[in-house]
Every structure is written in C-alpha cells, then in structure tokens.
Amino acid sequence: SLCSFFFLSSWQPQMVPFRGSHWQTSLLAFRASLPMRAQPKKKKKVDLKREQAQKDRMKKKIKKLEKAASEMIPIEDFITPLKYSDSNRVRSLPPLSFEETERRVLLMKKWGLFKQKQDEAEKKAIQSLVEAQQEALKELRLESEELYQAAIRRDEGLFPFERDGPNYTPPLPEYDPPEGKCVDITKVYTQ
Amino acid sequence: SAAGPRPWRLFGAMCLLRLPRITQPLEKEEEEMAALMAQIELEKSQYSDHEIRKLQEEDQLRRRKESMYDDDEAPGKTVIMAQDLEDKWEQKFLQFKAASRITDADKNNNRTSLNRKLDSNLMLLVKQKIGNQELWLLPQVEWQPGETLRNTAERAMATFLGDHIQAKTLGNAPYGIYKYKFPRAIRTENNVGAKVFFFKAFLQSSDLSLAELKEDYLWVTKDELGDYLKSEYLKKVNKFLLD
C-alpha cells in the first residue's frame, strides 16, 4: 500500500511517505508491528499446566516403582539347585560299625583336650610377651620420660600389614606354571 | 626427668626374624582329626557329576560284557571315559616334582644360611665384643642422644646387615629388657651397668646378597639359642619369643 500511495501521490507536488495506521511504528518493519500475539499467549498457559500435570503423574509412577522394586538379593549358598535333590545322587555306603563310632567319639574327646592345651599354651605365651613389654617400658620410664613417650606412641606405618602365608612346599626356582585364564561367572545382583 | 644423668648406659638391640616359608608338620592328633573330618565329609556328601558319569559308564561296561550285543554308537568313535580322565590326571600329577621341604642347608646344618628350617622362625645372632669378651648376641649398639630407642635398634640392624636391609619393625615400644651391672673392676658411681632394650622386626626380603656382613653371624631357631646365649640373657630373650 505504500507503493500505491507513492503512485497516487506521484502527481502531488511533494512525495511524503506516511504510515498506514497508528500501529505501524516504523516505515520498514511492517509485519512485526501489528498485534499478532493473541494465539501464542493461550498456548503457553494451557500447555504449561498440562505439562506440569504430566510431569507430576510421571514422578508419582516413578516413586511407586521405586517403592515396589526393592527385591531381596537371593543368597545362592542357601538355595540348593534342583539337580541335587535327585535320589540317584544319594551315596550308598555301608553303615558304621560299633567300633568305628566308638573310635570317633574317643578321637573327638582327645581332640578337645589337645585343643584346650594348645589354647592354654597360646594364652600363656601372650601373657609372657605382655609382661616382658611392661617390664621394659617400666625400666625405660625410669631412664627417660622422653624416650618413654616416644616408645608408647602409636606406629602409623605398621598396619595394614600384609604377608604371603606359608605354603606346603618352598617355591620351586625357575618353575613355568601352565597357561590358563580364570573366568569369573559369579552372578552380581543390583537392587 | 629433673634428676641428674642416670648411671645406666642404654643399648638398643634388634631381634630380626625370618618368618617361616612352609607349614609346620601336623601333630598326630591333628592328622587323625583331619582324616576323620575328610571321612565325615565324604559320608555326608552326594555324588558329583563326575562320579555319576563314572558309575553310569561302569554300568554300561558291565552290561556290555554280560550280553554280547553290539555298541549303540558307530564303530570307530572313541569315547573318553571318566576313568581315562582320572588316569590322565594322575599321570600329570606324578610328573610334577615339588621343591623339597628339607633343604641342603638343613642336611649340612649350615647355620649361616637363611634356607634352613623353613618351617620355623630364624633369628639373627652376631658376635660382638663386650668389655674384653667376644659374645654371641642379638645385634646391639649404644643409644645416642637425639634418637629414639627404635632408631637405635634399626641402626644396629643396619650396622651389621647394611643399609639395604628390608625389615618391618613391629612398633615403637621395646619387647624386652636385659639389665646387667658391669664387673666391679669398671663399675663406678656414674657407670653402674647397662640396659639393653630389645625390638622385634620381620625380615621382608630374603635376598641378603647386598648385605655387608662383617662380623660372624648366625641364623638360629628359638631352640638353638641356648647353644649360643648366656643363661640370664637367654631367659630375658625367651620371654618375648613365640615358637
């Protein structure tokens, strides 16, 4: 319409460009100045509410699932696999004779006594160790308080203490162990 | 302490232990009990897959011998029986030769070797000059002001075995004490006697090739200590040694 105005006013003495309506704030930006905001405003409000409701429903569902989903992790040691309850698995051995049961009972009694003696000896040895250390610390205190305090301080570097336990035979020099791969198939459960 | 200098000289000594490499032999009761436990475990158990397979194959063999019918399987197909597997495993086991529990050093009774008596603790003894006597002792040096007694003991170890020794000292506190008075000839008011504080350490590496052992040394077990140490000293040392 601007062009038509120019055309129509071409025969006027002065060509003055002027706006078509009071909404047209600038001459060049035509489409943006008109009030075109009615539709998007409605969408925002309604959508916001709908989206909020949807989110809440999802959260409720998730909470319900979380509450119900704490299954116990099965302890595999306590569950006997079904294949071991077959009757053909039962071992067939002759019943124990009277002498054998007697021998076993007497051996258990002997074992009890052996272990008791072993335990007493261990306790005595530990007692002797503690006494020796107490005596040493007492004498040290008589000598110098400073050395005594240094001695009773905790040794931070002592633990953790690791050591490879004794085996049945000493290590064989230049032994080449056979190759192999150990694959761990334990089942790992997550809650 | 506010009192004047004490008349006792202080020494730090290190009891260096080489821990056992192999298990001790079982006592008679322990052996009998182990056998009984194995027997009870066998009685309470059920057949394993391998045993079931073996029983089935033995059954098949027996039936085949009794009735002379042909094999169900095509001839020429080799079947590995469970018994064959067991024989194969037995053969393989017999081929392996483990190292001997009794070493050469045991046979020669070479007490300077660390390879002796692999099932017990070995302790280091060195020959030191005390006064005008040469005595077998746990390595000791005199305490110097400015160091703790643990440092003295570690210094004693380093003096006799060199700086590259790898040993773990068990704590800051002494394990035992040996107190003795000097002979009357050298005893004075300010120099009555000496107190030797013992510390314990575990030898970490068995490689002592870098050690510069100058004096005479021995690695002995607790029972053999009596051959070398004086009785009073031995009594105090035995108090903090476990078998």
Task: Scan residues 47-66 of B and list those with Cβ closer than 8 Å to A.
Answer: 47, 52
Return d(Cα B224, Cα A158) in angstroms, integer.
29
Q: What ipTM score was computed for the predicted complex, to two decimals?
A: 0.83
Contact assignment for A136 to B198 by CB distance below 8 Å: yes
One-letter identity of residue B123: M
- Inter-chain CB proximity A152 and B45 less than 8 Å: no
Residue A149, chain B, CB below 8 Å: the answer is no
Residue pLDDT, tens place only, B99-114: 888 888 888 888 888 8
Closest chain A C-alpha to B111 CA, distance in angstroms: 18
At residue B37, does pLDDT exceed 90?
A: yes
Enumerate the residues of chain B whose CB falls inside 8 A of the CB of residue A151: 148-150, 172-174
- Where along chain B do its domains lie? 8-22+109-238, 28-95
Query: Under 8 Å CB-to-CB from B30, ≥6 apart: which residues?
Result: A114
Among A71-80, B72-81, B84-93, B97-106, whose mean pLDDT is lowest? Answer: B72-81
Q: Is B38 on the interface with A (CB under 8 A)?
A: no
CB contact under 8 A, B197 and A129: no
A21-32: pLDDT as tens digits: 665 555 565 555
What are all long-range contacts of B207-214, with beta carbons under 8 Å and residues at least 24 apart? B208/B114, B208/B161, B208/B165, B210/B162, B210/B164, B211/B161, B211/B162, B211/B164, B211/B165, B212/B161, B212/B162, B213/B160, B213/B161, B213/B162, B214/B160
Could you tell me which residue, A121 or A73, shows the higher pLDDT? A121
| Interface touch A171/B99, C-beta < 8 Å | yes
Asked if A152 lies within 8 A of B103 by C-beta distance, the reply is: no
Which DSSP string do the residues of B6-44 spell out, in sequence order?
-SEEEEEEEEEEEPPSBPPPPPHHHHHHHHHHHHHHHHH
Query: Could you give the CA distance from residue A96 to residue A103 in angstroms, rounded to a whole number?
Result: 11
- Once rounded to an integer, what is the mean pLDDT over residues B23-30? 94
CATH number for B8-22+109-238: choose from 3.30.230.10, 1.10.240.10, 3.90.79.10, 3.40.50.1370.
3.90.79.10
Cα separation, B58 vs B60, whole angstroms: 5
pLDDT-derived band at A147, boundaries 50, 70, 90: very high
